[in-house]
Structure 1
Amino acid sequence: MIAANLVVTLYDGTRVPAARLLSATGQPDITSALEELATAIRANPLWSRLTGSALIGRYEPAPLLAVVGTFTEEQQALLMQLRDQLDLLMQEREFVDYPHAEAVCGRLAERLVATFSAEFLKSAQFAAIPRGGLIVLGMLAYHLDLRPEQLTTLDAAAVEKTLFVVDDCSLSGTRFRESLSLTAADDVVFCPLYAPEALCAGIVSCEPRVVACLSGATLEDTTPAPGGAGHEAWRRQRLARLGDDCYWPGQTLGVAFAWCTPRTRRWDETAGRFVEGWDVVPPSRCLKRRLLLRRLENDAIVDYLPTLTLNIPYPGADIRAHDRVLWCCKDDGVIVARIPQRAADSASVYRLDGISAKFWQLLMIQGSMQRALAALLGRYQVSRERLEADMDALVEQMRAEGLLVCNDQLPQDHDTDA
């Protein structure tokens, strides 16, 4: 039994309350919630940079989910970014379904009427930023009772009429800046369904043609508080990455809609720019994510999505894996990992090969050493005495390492405080 591979914990039910997992995935129970979380993690093209990875999870006593593989330092950094996105998902990120979006769209319509008057809006033109903005504009058109001829596109908008540009959300204003360059309209009003107030103010301040920026709902600003530890260093780094012409250097948790999620980005130090990031919004809660997962799973050339193994203990087992142990079959062997209690500690990872690997699988499936030995004797040409001696020694070693628990042994926590 030798140490092999690396294991990165993605979700630990002893650190993140089960209520948050249920809320983030929109599922009614832990079993379906953990499976949905694993599905959300798998639905990412970034796994093409982590080929050979595998996901392992267990439901009880505390749910666990981890990824195992042989990772370079660059790949480990990529997995840390995945874990960061999962942390954000668990921080009560806002999910907007269609009824909720309709209600917020109604509030946006009320703000527009209060600011510009219903009569003024009847003479204005409206265009959407594809693709999420098209859905919002459709609802807004009903709330404002717009005529079909008032709906246009960015490049076809009349110069002399005020143009209301609609989007589902704006986190940095990047898409709006690109869209603004496509229209010749003299006066523009930006109408994101969701946006931070400071971003809206920044857009109006920076763009002479923008007469107003009104959202239906405000996204919370999660920027580190001024004067707090690390704020200035964070701000300098943020401005260096976004550029001096950014509308707003802050940050927000963002929002996920029933139809799409805002594009996630991560900073690539080597390239010196933002590149594609992890998206962990559960597919069951978002059309765009469901379709992406379907394309990835049905594409014959996509062979990099991680497999998922869920460890289900044998009921009434005489011998079982420790509560903090995860395992899976990989490359003709078995990977066994003990997940530490402390997030800063590394998992203890072992690889079993040959008869030892088969013995572990039989122990987990049958829950009895005697039944596992009987099954092995039917497969291998070895004496019972030799097999029992070898497997007894292996079991004792695994018990000492905190990997196995027997029915005459209370579960022991092999992690110690520093």
Structure 2
Amino acid sequence: MGADNLMVTLYDGAEVSAARLLAVTGKPDTPAAVAELAAAVRANPLWSRLPDSVLIGRCEPVPLLAVAGTFSDEQQVLLLQLRGYLDVLLHEREFVDYSQAEEVCGQLAERLVTVFGADTLQSAQFAAIPRGGLIVLGMLAYHLDLKPNQFTSLEAADADRVLFVIDDCSLTGKRFRECLSRIASDSVVFCPLYAPEALCAGIVAREPRVVNCIAGVSLKDTSPAQGVAGHEEWRRRRYAQLGEDFYWLGQTLGVAFAWCTPQTRRWDDVEGRFLEDWDVVPPSRSLKRRLLQRRLENDADAKYLPTLTLNMPTPGTELRVHDRVLWCCWDDEVIVAKLPQRADDAARVYRLIGISAEFWQLLMTHDAMQSIIQALWEQYQVARERLEADMTSLEDQLYAEGLLVRHEHLPRNHGTDTYQLQDDPS
């Protein structure tokens, strides 16, 4: 299978506002937010399957983030999946910090008191599903005023006492089922902080020992509704993924907690199983993500992580780069691309080599054409008239391709798929 030089848009400020980007990353300004989004993308072991990739970001005037590289068809599928997770992050992902978790724990405690009564709770035993459940149980213990002798482990719980099993989030109930097999108690109450209401009902219906399942917050079912186009195909695939032994057929978005994020898996039709997938929660929003980022950055074997280039256009120049152009240095070349307005459209990628690459790099730091030509002439000592003619011709080509803008005026609409400047013929 062949591979193509591509630049794939991951975030486009023209589609998702900078205000939303700031809210998702928790950063105070656009440069910090773009850098944090890049860090979220970068902190993924899956980059081992996309070596030699480069992340390119730009903050002004429209924030942009893209990945450049030579990608096969299979690798392009991975990048499209990455973009899909970023879309969810930027539009729908719910973040739960410690203060919100504390508030929801209070709501869960009130529900437990209402359903079971204070006396039952004071005589019951409590255990957590590691690791997120331990944090939730610690908060819940204060709300319920639990005593030290009420805490136990899943394996050590008394068979004749009610056991409350605490977790931070449950999306399919698979982890709870695995834990239930290690519990001796005949009366179990499952209490995930966040879970779909239908999942809780399914657990109670399928497990005779589970007397109740109560969540602090019910998560919304995001699966296609019955009768909607694609529902039957989705249902067929979901059956294949979960098998016959499931509590609930639906699906929902996971919650990103301040301490961890739900483990992401993608279904592979060829393998017939779930495989490792992207996690794009910003490291600044999750302890687990920060620690993973630190481990990957300090791992000598993780050289596959993409490098990050932040484009910083020079203001007030005679020539400037178009607002939707991104670029990076790649060995002795410069890779340049103008991102299309539609994310599904392919960007035209240009490879500038030799003096063309040097011209571009000088363009990023000089404010006038004559100063660029002077710098090149001092280096090459060629006939100045010929050098000026060649560089003017190159400037015209870059302008015609929509990569450069003169005198702060937008270029004519030349599109993004015309011809290349000494670029890759693939």
TM-score, normalization: structure 1? 0.96
Contact kept in structure 2, 1:341 and 1:415, CA below 8 Å: no
For residues 48-63 of structure 1, the aligned pairs below 5 Å read: 48-63=48-63
Partner secondary structure for residue 5 of structure 1? strand
Q: CA deviation at 1:409?
A: 4.4
Contact kept in structure 2, 1:20 and 1:92, CA below 8 Å: no
The answer for the alignment partner of 2:111 in structure 1 is 111
Q: 1:290-336: per-residue Cα shift (whole Å, max 9, x none)?
A: 11111111122211111111111111011111111100001221000
Q: CA deviation at 1:227?
A: 1.2
- Measure, in 1, the Cα distance between the counterparts of 2:142 and 2:413: 60
- Measure, in 2, the Cα distance between the counterparts of 1:313 and 1:165: 55
Identity in percent:
69
Matched, 1:383 2:405: no
- Measure, in 1, the Cα distance between the counterparts of 2:78 and 2:197: 31
Q: 1:364-384: per-residue Cα shift (whole Å, max 9, x none)?
A: 221322111111122224222
For structure 2, list consecutive stretches of 5 or more residues without a partner in the other structure.
Answer: 417-426
The answer for the alignment partner of 2:41 in structure 1 is 41
Matched, 1:334 2:334: yes
The answer for the alignment partner of 1:318 in structure 2 is 318
Letter in 2 for 1:368: A
The answer for the alignment partner of 1:258 in structure 2 is 258
The answer for the alignment partner of 1:133 in structure 2 is 133
The answer for the alignment partner of 2:420 in structure 1 is none
Shift of the 29–286 alpha-carbon distance from structure 1 to 2, 3 Å rule, reads: same
Letter in 2 for 1:281: V
Q: CA deviation at 1:270?
A: 2.4
Q: 1:211-240: per-residue Cα shift (whole Å, max 9, x none)?
A: 111011111111112211111211111111
Contact kept in structure 2, 1:4 and 1:350, CA below 8 Å: no
Matched, 1:352 2:352: yes
Contact kept in structure 1, 2:26 and 2:285, CA below 8 Å: yes
For structure 1, list consecutive stretches of 5 or more residues without a partner in the other structure.
Answer: none
Letter in 1 for 2:228: G
Q: CA deviation at 1:54?
A: 0.3
- Measure, in 2, the Cα distance between the counterparts of 1:114 and 1:92: 32
Q: CA deviation at 1:408?
A: 7.0
The answer for the alignment partner of 2:235 in structure 1 is 235
The answer for the alignment partner of 2:288 in structure 1 is 288
- Measure, in 2, the Cα distance between the counterparts of 1:10 and 1:344: 11
The answer for the alignment partner of 1:270 in structure 2 is 270
Letter in 1 for 2:173: G
Partner secondary structure for residue 252 of structure 1? coil
Contact kept in structure 1, 2:320 and 2:408, CA below 8 Å: no
Aligned length: 415
- Measure, in 2, the Cα distance between the counterparts of 1:4 and 1:157: 58
Shift of the 408–58 alpha-carbon distance from structure 1 to 2, 3 Å rule, reads: closer
Partner secondary structure for residue 364 of structure 2? helix
Contact kept in structure 2, 1:202 and 1:248, CA below 8 Å: yes
Q: 1:162-211: per-residue Cα shift (whole Å, max 9, x none)?
A: 11110000111111111111212111111000011111111111111111
- Measure, in 2, the Cα distance between the counterparts of 1:414 and 1:400: 7
The answer for the alignment partner of 1:94 in structure 2 is 94
Contact kept in structure 1, 2:162 and 2:186, CA below 8 Å: yes
Contact kept in structure 1, 2:128 and 2:165, CA below 8 Å: yes
The answer for the alignment partner of 1:193 in structure 2 is 193
Worse-superposed segment, 24-33 or 156-165? 24-33
Shift of the 4–81 alpha-carbon distance from structure 1 to 2, 3 Å rule, reads: closer
Partner secondary structure for residue 256 of structure 2? strand
Contact kept in structure 1, 2:268 and 2:274, CA below 8 Å: yes
Q: CA deviation at 1:386?
A: 2.1
- Measure, in 2, the Cα distance between the counterparts of 1:380 and 1:114: 83
Worse-superposed segment, 264-273 or 286-295? 264-273
Q: 1:73-99: per-residue Cα shift (whole Å, max 9, x none)?
A: 111111111111001101232111111
Partner secondary structure for residue 380 of structure 2? coil
The answer for the alignment partner of 1:249 in structure 2 is 249
Contact kept in structure 2, 1:58 and 1:310, CA below 8 Å: yes
Partner secondary structure for residue 315 of structure 1? coil
- Measure, in 1, the Cα distance between the counterparts of 2:89 and 2:408: 40
- Measure, in 1, the Cα distance between the counterparts of 2:254 and 2:202: 18
Matched, 1:343 2:313: no
Root-mean-square deviation (Å): 1.7
Q: CA deviation at 1:412?
A: 3.4
The answer for the alignment partner of 1:405 in structure 2 is 405
Contact kept in structure 1, 2:10 and 2:67, CA below 8 Å: yes
The answer for the alignment partner of 1:220 in structure 2 is 220
- Measure, in 2, the Cα distance between the counterparts of 1:189 and 1:331: 60
Matched, 1:309 2:277: no
